[in-house]
A and B are shown apart, each in its own frame.
Chain A
Amino acid sequence: DGGITQSPKYLFRKEGQNVTLSCEQNLNHDAMYWYRQDPGQGLRLIYYSQIVNDFQKGDIAEGYSVSREKKESFPLTVTSAQKNPTAFYLCASSLKVQLNQPQHFGDGTRLSIL
């Protein structure tokens, strides 16, 4: 079945540590996205990518980094510069970055601080 796989499901970060969240899709979608979800705040866009080797900052990119070396993969690194990383992180993809295209979501990674 086609879909988006996020791993791990739960992740713990120590002070000063960088952690990387994995996102893989087999939908052959061009566009991929990372969102952060906090209770009562909806989804906020961290980064998005329209094609391989290209990505753009979203609304809350500070303290995060991404890469897009393959069409299928869009990993997110939460760096030590992100002082409040505890949240639910969602990866999504769409056929294109076109506004009438719905997004398909993974099941998320919950990140907590140790």
Chain B
Amino acid sequence: AQSVTQLGSHVSVSEGALVLLRCNYSSSVPPYLFWYVQYPNQGLQLLLKYTTGATLVKGINGFEAEFKKSETSFHLTKPSAHMSDAAEYFCAVSQDGGFKTIFGAGTRLFVKA
């Protein structure tokens, strides 16, 4: 069965610092991977997705993620945090043979001035 683990329910960074949000997945076959962002009292918005091809994926708002099959990871990074990045971030995985997208529990990002 596929699953998603997001390490750290809360991450705090200073404005201008590197953002690193960790995501590990378990899947018996090559997965499709997504990162979504959720602002308070809103739905989720797609940041980026990995399906096939290049393992470094660039998304919106300066975020990127790297698919590392050997580490079963898909960590989200941004070189320089901005106050507007404060939100909750969800990693999600789906795979052939199933219909569902499985979401991680989420990581709330705090950005300090």
* B104 proximity list for chain A (CB < 8 A): 42
Which residues on A sit within 8 Å (CB–CB) of B36? 105
* Cross-chain contact A99 with B45 (CB below 8 angstroms): no
A42-B90, A42-B103 known; A99 and B43 CB under 8 Å? no
Which residues between 86 and 114 of chain A lie within 8 Å of chain B, taking CB atoms?
90, 92, 97, 99-100, 102-108, 110
Tell me whether A8 is interfacial, beta carbon within 8 Å: no
Closest chain-A Cβ to B65's Cβ sits at a distance in Å of 14
**Interface of chain B, main secondary structure:** loop
Q: Classify the secondary structure of A's interface with B.
A: loop
Question: Which chain B residue lies CB-closest to A97?
Answer: B99
B46 beta carbon closer than 8 Å to chain A: yes
Interface residues of B, CB < 8 Å — how many?
24
Task: Identify which of residues 67-113 in chain B touch chain A, using a CB-to-CB cut-off of 8 Å.
Answer: 90, 94-96, 98-101, 103-106
Task: Tell me if A100 and B51 are in contact (CB < 8 A).
Answer: yes
Q: Which of A6, A45, A100 contacts B100 (CB 8 A)?
A: A45
Residues of A in contact with B, size category? 20 to 34
Q: Does the CB pair B90–A43 fall under 8 Å?
A: yes
Q: Digit string of B13-52 for contact with A (CB within 8 Å is 1, else 0)?
A: 0000000000000000000101010000111111001010
Query: Are B44 and A105 neighbours in the complex by a CB distance under 8 Å?
Result: yes
Cα A108 to Cα B105 in complex, Å, equals 17
Could you tell me which B residues sit within 8 Å of A by CB distance? 9, 32, 34, 36, 41-46, 49, 51, 90, 94-96, 98-101, 103-106
A residues adjacent to B (C-beta < 8 A):
4, 6, 9, 40-43, 45, 48, 56, 58, 90, 92, 97, 99-100, 102-108, 110
Give the 6 A-B residue pairs with the shortest CB-CB distance, closest first: A105-B43, A99-B94, A100-B51, A42-B103, A43-B103, A42-B105
Assuming A56-B99, A99-B101, A108-B43, what are 15 further A-B pairs, CB within 8 angstroms? Answer: A4-B43, A6-B43, A9-B41, A42-B106, A43-B90, A48-B99, A90-B43, A92-B43, A99-B32, A99-B99, A102-B34, A102-B49, A103-B101, A105-B45, A106-B43
Q: What are 23 A-B pairs at a CB distance below 8 A?
A: A4-B43, A40-B105, A40-B106, A42-B90, A42-B105, A42-B106, A43-B90, A45-B100, A90-B43, A90-B44, A92-B44, A97-B99, A99-B94, A100-B32, A100-B49, A100-B94, A102-B34, A103-B46, A103-B101, A104-B46, A105-B44, A107-B41, A107-B42
